[in-house]
Amino acid sequence: MSSWIDFKAVGEIVGVGLLAGAGLPALFAVGMRAMSLPGRHGATVDADSERVLGGSRAGIAIGVLCFACVVAAIGYGIYIIVVAGHGK
Amino acid sequence: MASNDVVMGLVVATALSFDFTNGFHDTANAMATSIATKALSPHIAVGLSAVLNLVGAFLSLSVAATIANGLVNTGLVTLTVVFGGLVGAIIWNLTTWYFGIPSSSSHALIGGVIGSMLAAAGEHAVKWQGLVSKVILPAVLSPFIAGLVAAVGTYLVYRISRSMRNRSRDHGFRIGQIGSASLVSLAHGTNDAQKTMGVITLGLIANGTLHAGASAPLWVIVSCGLAIALGTYVGGWRVIRTLGKGLVEIQPPQGMAAESSSAAIILLSTHFGYSLSTTQVATGSILGCGLGKRGAQVRWNTAGRMAVAWLLTLPSAGAMGALSYFIAHEVGGTGGIVLDLILLGALAALIYYRSRATRVTPVNVNSTWTGSVAPSEPARAPARL
């Protein structure tokens, strides 16, 4: 039976899939949320504006860190696939 | 020997034609959501997707190996078998494109080759275990896994960003979508371009050009990458319309969650050598992003029609693969293959001609969904005076 269905592979696809496929967009959302935090002056923003940046320096720094993590994770994933896909 | 080389040339040309139909049939998988949320303009979306498909084709060869060596007994494959399978797959791809149904090009290809193989050598020639464990089970599981991941992603994304203003949130996620849609295109290249490479390799093995167990030569990788990129660039607007507008009215955060889920699942499966259907993954993700957002409406009747088409894909493409093998084999030699190609060309022309009546273009691809792929607006923008 186990030669017909590889439970380990399916489990890994679900687990890593959730981590990368749902976790990374969530991290992206955290970054955006941080970037939109209002700054010290609390300037009123037009409700119709598309502007994401809220003005908080710490928020922007956290946002940049989140986006960097997302990019690094994607890069690492592609690297693994390229190495494995040509290794055998 | 010389006539065999002519046949080999025709088989390669047919395989690249299939790859082309695979490209335009599947542009939707990567780009439908971005086009629907206007994260990318239609023309830029297909161009970007084409380039990334080409890049993706070079990244991994795991799936090509499965197709070339894991499904049928390579010792019994002849060029006519490969050819029959390809013709069956192209016919099914064109038919489903006409109806705007995002069916699996991979299953069309695999079904076609297996049907043709059955017609040629009987059932002992097929590696049923390879078929079930590497094709059928992933096909059944993948849309559910993709849907689950997309639903969780959508829920998290909305939850985290709920205090943001709608317009700035959508703006941010549109930017994110450019990245996630690009990844799906790349992933598509790593999985789908491989399938045609696998089939051409199978043909080369059958022809004696390569030994059994060989991997795809460089010219095969390059030409397959180019064919799928060209197909992608032409853009299957009918299928893009169904996926982008027919299932769920997609907002940018949902689009990004759906695309991230698709990219992750496809890349992971490539890694394990599963030749899954990128189409079914993308559809599962889109349904999931509809389920993950409170109040979003999912059009289950459209989804149901797709599911029926998916069930029919393997047997239908198989039957057409068997038929075209039969025609080519009965007539015999190069003549049989040429006759098949003439019939295929006539059928393709007929389908294209019929499709003109309900033409979908970059102009009307996003027009309101009224129950079918037939667009509710004209195919051209009204002339400015």
pLDDT digits (tens, 9 = 90+) for B317-330: 999 999 999 999 88
**Chain A nearest CA to B102, separation (Å):** 22
Per-residue pLDDT for B275 more than 90?
no
Determine the pLDDT at residue A18.
94
Categorize the per-residue pLDDT at B382 as very low, low, confident or very high, splitting at 50, 70 and 90: low
For range B260-287, the mean pLDDT: 88
**In the predicted model, what is the mean pLDDT of residues B87-113?**
90
Helix (H, G, I), strand (E, B) or coil at A36: coil
- B219's tokens: 């010219």
Q: Pick from B334, B275, B321, B332: which is nearest to B118 by CA?
A: B321
Spell out which residues of chain A touch residue B172, defining contact as CB-CB under 8 Å: 32, 35-36, 52
Is B260 in the A-facing interface, judged by CB distances under 8 Å? yes
Provide the 10 A C-beta neighbour count for residue B118: 20
**What pLDDT is attached to residue B146?**
94
Q: Which of A45-59, B112-126, B337-351 has the lowest mean pLDDT?
A: A45-59
Token output for B263 = 């990219």
What are the pLDDT digits (tens) for B9-23? 999 999 999 999 999
| pLDDT over 70, % of chain B | 98
A16 touches chain B (CB under 8 A): yes
Query: Is residue B10 exposed (0-12), middle (13-18) or buried (19+ Cβ within 10 Å)?
Result: middle
Q: Which of residues 283-342 of B touch A (CB under 8 A)?
A: none
pLDDT tens digits, one per residue of B211-255: 877 778 889 999 999 999 999 988 788 888 888 888 888 889 999
Nearest CA in chain A to B143: A14
CA atoms within 13 A on the CB side of A66: 20
B62 close to A (CB below 8 A): yes
Place of tokens 């749902």: A22
pLDDT at B139 over 60: yes
pLDDT averaged over every residue in chain B: 86
Confidence class for position B1, pLDDT limits 50, 70, 90: very low
Model confidence at B206, pLDDT cuts 50, 70, 90, reads confident
Give the model's confidence band at A4: pLDDT under 50 very low, under 70 low, under 90 confident, else very high.
low
Overall average pLDDT of the B359-366 stretch: 82
A73 compared with B378, residue with greater pLDDT: A73
Residue B100 has pLDDT above 80, yes or no: yes
- What is the chain B residue with the closest CA to A23? B153
Task: Report CB contact under 8 Å: A49, B161.
Answer: no
Which chain A residues are closer than 8 Å to B163 by Cβ? Answer: 33
pLDDT surpasses 90 at B259: yes
> Which of B35-39, B259-263, B269-273 has the weakest average pLDDT?
B269-273
Q: List pLDDT tens digits, range B279-296.
A: 889 999 999 999 988 877
pTM of the model: 0.86
Contact check, Cβ <8 Å, A26/B156: yes
Tell me the pLDDT band of B144, cut-offs 50, 70 and 90.
very high
Residue of chain B whose Cα is closest to the Cα of A79? B59
pLDDT of residue B384: 52
Confidence of residue A15 (pLDDT cuts 50, 70, 90): very high
Please list every residue in chain B whose beta carbon sits closer than 8 Å to the beta carbon of residue A78: 59, 186, 267
Interval B327-340 mean pLDDT: 87
Nearest CA in chain B to A38: B164
Do the chains contact at B264 and A17, CB–CB below 8 Å?
yes
Better pLDDT: B140 or B262: B262
Higher pLDDT, B65 or B79: B79
**Confidence band for A1, pLDDT divided at 50, 70 and 90:** very low
Cβ–Cβ gap A30/B269 under 8 Å: no
Residues contacting residue B184 through CB under 8 Å, at least 6 positions apart:
B29, B30, B259, B262, B263, B266, B278, B282
Query: Count of CB contacts below 8 A, A vs B?
Result: 141
Percent of chain A with pLDDT over 90: 36
Burial B43-62 (b: 16+ CB within 10 A, else e): eebbbbbbbbbbebbbbbbb
Residues 6+ apart with CB under 8 A from B170: A50, B37, B251, B252, B253
| Contacting residues of A for B176, CB less than 8 Å apart | 25, 28, 32
For residue A85, pLDDT beyond 70: no
Distance from the Cα of B59 to chain A's closest Cα (Å) equals 5
pLDDT, position A88: 43
The stretches of B161-293 forming alpha helices (DSSP H) are 166-206, 218-234, 237-241, 252-272, 278-291
B171 reaches A (C-beta below 8 A): yes
Q: Is the pLDDT reported for residue A2 higher than 70?
A: no
**CA closest to B263 among chain A residues:** A21
